[in-house]
Amino acid sequence: MTTPEKKKKSGLFSNLLFNIILPAVILSKLSGDDMLGPVWAVIVALAFPLLFGVWELKQSGKVNFFSVLGIISVMLTGGISLLQLDPAYIAIKEALIPGVIGVIVLLSQRTKFPLVKKLLINPELLDTEKLYQTLASKDNRVEFEHRMAKAGYIVAASFFMSSALNYILAKAIVVSQPGTTAYAEELGRMTWLSYPVIVLPSTVMLFGAIIYMFRQIGKLTGQSLEDFILQ
């Protein structure tokens, strides 16, 4: 009997290409009146992350919370741009998405299903059943949950930091009225800078939380992390 083939996940390069590189190039280089024009440049540029997000949802075979938020973010940017609202709304939108995720992470800490557990203890990577059995045998299950909660605050802080940086970056760069070439170019510049200014620091904090939890697994189980990694 054949086992069902796992859905392929998009790689880092694909994410960068469709979410940052292509939109930034189109907005920065093709928004002039002699090219696509500011309105069509925004439409074409935002089509790439929007369609890529939909494709990711289809590939995963299930609704992914973060992919849905990404699609909503793109649609909000498109709505603000095409309705030619005050550019201040772009800064608010940029801060809103990671801020909402940070709040959800914090609120989920007080439930039986904290979001941080899904983020850091991935059942596709770790044998979670074996991990929890080992923790229970060492009488360290409760302590593990306490340390998981600490990691949750690190993850939430990374999203709140991203929210603040998003707002500052957008407020500083996107100042022109939507519907103009200057606005489209500013949107492109913000997209370029979002990776080094926002994504990298936030990713460092997230990796810090992951490394912290991996170390706790070793300390609380008395075994190497490799013992719990799925083959």
What's the half-sphere exposure (Cβ side, CA atoms, 13 Å) at 226?
0
Q: Are 52 and 18 in contact (CB under 8 A)?
A: yes
pLDDT of residue 33: 79
Domain spans, the chain: 12-228
Please state the three-class secondary structure of 17-57 as a single string.
HHHHHHHHHHHHHCCCCCCCCHHHHHHHHHHHHHHHHHHHH
Alpha-carbon span 197 to 165, nearest angstrom: 7
Q: Which residues does 100 contact at the CB level (< 8 Å), separation at least 6?
A: 69
The neighbour count for residue 117, using CB atoms within 10 Å, is 20
pLDDT of residue 197: 82
pLDDT-based confidence at 49, cuts 50/70/90? confident
pLDDT-based confidence at 36, cuts 50/70/90? confident
Tens of pLDDT, residue by residue over 100-129, are 989 988 898 888 778 888 777 777 788 888
CA-only gyration radius of the chain, Å:
21
Q: Which amino acid is at 203?
A: T
- As a residue count, the chain comes to 231
Quick one: CA dihedral 88, 94, 97, 98, positive or negative?
negative
pTM of the model: 0.79
pLDDT of residue 39: 85
**pLDDT (average), residues 189-216:** 86
Q: Which amino acid is at 155?
A: V
Alpha-carbon span 183 to 79, nearest angstrom: 14
Helix, strand, coil tally for the chain in percent (to 5)? 75, 0, 25
pLDDT of residue 9: 53
pLDDT of residue 103: 92
Of 77, 110, 109, whose CA–CA distance to 91 is shortest?
77
